[in-house]
Amino acid sequence: MSLLEKERVRMSKNQILKGEHIIEKKTTIFSKFLNFIFYSIICGFILGLFLLYGPYNGFRDWYITTAMTTMTHQYLATWFYSDQAINEVLDKNKMIEIDAITDPSLVTTVASTGTYTYANEYEKAILERDASHPDYKIIPIKTSKYSGYLAVVYDPSTIKTLVTNKVGKEGQYLTEMAENAGATISINGGVFTGDRSSSEDLKAQELAYGGSGGSPYGITISNGEVITNTEYDGVGGLIGFNENNKLVLGKMTAKKAKGMKIRDAVTCGPYLIINGQPSKVIGNGGWGTAPRTAIGQRKDGIVLMLAIDGRRATMPGATMEDLLEIMQKYGAYNASALDGGTSTAMVENGQLVNDPIDSSGAHKTRPIATGFGAIFNK
């Protein structure tokens, strides 16, 4: 064999050995990758079991209360926990509402004017008006858990109920309702269902936060006219403004609401503050974390409309206790939660202010039945 042929054989063997080494290296990398995936799944499974069933009850309580108040995703709790375990958690985590009705005489409806001595940064944020639109202002709200917006409306007489124009059939997006009513700034309103099958749906709670959004639950009043008056035995109750433009909260019949001269109202809850007295929070409040909407009124008559985003990995949303704290910071004397979750929306001049996310992760809101809007110059 010539030297040239020997060199070719040697090079050929080297290439074979090099190829075998590359194959062996790739096999090793792939094997390590499979091992990583396998152990990640095992660790994730063990961590999940530890969080769901371990000694730390905080995660379990948060998980159950969040799932059980979504209405459409309660299976996330019932898959892993018995009815008894769920009921025990819900009983230890709840909000006890004030058993009272708003006393309108305790609220004025003319905001003070002139030179202010601000008690704190929150008072300053409320009372310093926006020169570009002095009738209202929007204050950004942000913490490590959630972000959102607080709309401040100085004249409570401008707040009206927004109602879908196809009541009993289908809801509308808040942007549409606001445009139809001529509302400058608005938020979503009360609880609703997809049709008018009334109390059976409420008890089942299968459609209360879904369907077409066409039928408000409970009492709905617009410009003094009772639009709906269906059975409602949920938290909260009537949330409305009387003819003196004072926010009234209380469990009542439509007849009583008319007697109290309620001009615009929806039905929802839970109530957060009545006559300056906050609801009692036990545990985490029982509602988990989610996008939230709320409305309140200060003693000086200024209306606060709050929309909090959530359902993000780093910002899951607000608890009912968070809503209560925000309303207290900004001086609410009466306040209530409104419908939350995918319904949560704030609209200014026809455009969404907040960034809602539905249960699928899409950046969108949904058709709703009612809302509250500030209608200026009408």
Residues 154 and 204: beta-carbon distance below 8 Å: no
**CA end-to-end span of the chain, whole Å?**
106
The pLDDT of residue 317: 87
- Residue extents of the structural domains in the chain: 3-92, 96-374
Q: State yes or no: pLDDT of 369 exceeds 90.
A: yes
CA distances from 75 to 59, 71, 81, 110, 289 (A): 17, 9, 10, 48, 17
pLDDT band at 377 (very low <50, low <70, confident <90, very high): confident
Q: State yes or no: pLDDT of 353 exceeds 70.
A: yes
Instruction: Dump pLDDT digits (tens) for 121-135.
Output: 999 999 999 999 999
The pLDDT of residue 202: 40
Residues 164 and 172: beta-carbon distance below 8 Å: yes
Element (H, E) at 50: helix 3-53
Give me the mean pLDDT over the 338-352 stretch. Answer: 94
Instruction: Dump pLDDT digits (tens) for 159-168.
Output: 999 999 989 8
CA distance 289 to 74: 14
CA distances from 173 to 309, 351, 352, 366 (A): 17, 11, 10, 6
Order of strands across the sheet that contains 262-268: 225-229, 219-222, 262-268, 237-242, 247-250
pLDDT band at 34 (very low <50, low <70, confident <90, very high): low
Quick one: what percent of the chain has pLDDT higher than 90? 51
Ramachandran quadrant class, 345 (left: phi over 0; alpha: psi -120 to 50; beta: rest): beta
Residues 344 and 308: beta-carbon distance below 8 Å: yes
Dihedral, CA atoms, 47, 49, 55, 59, nearest 10 degrees? 80
pLDDT band at 207 (very low <50, low <70, confident <90, very high): very low
Instruction: Dump pLDDT digits (tens) for 214-262.
Output: 889 999 999 999 999 998 988 999 999 999 999 999 999 999 999 999 9
The pLDDT of residue 351: 94
Q: What is the pTM of this model?
A: 0.79
Kindly report the average pLDDT of the chain as a whole number.
81
Residue 161 C-beta-side C-alpha neighbours within 13 Å: 30
Instruction: Dump pLDDT digits (tens) for 78-96.
Output: 777 777 877 777 778 888 8
pLDDT band at 149 (very low <50, low <70, confident <90, very high): very high
Give me the mean pLDDT over the 329-350 stretch. Answer: 95
Residues 202 and 217: beta-carbon distance below 8 Å: yes
The pLDDT of residue 140: 97
Q: What angle do CA 339, 340, 341 make, to 5 degrees?
A: 140
Residues 187 and 291: beta-carbon distance below 8 Å: no
The pLDDT of residue 204: 42
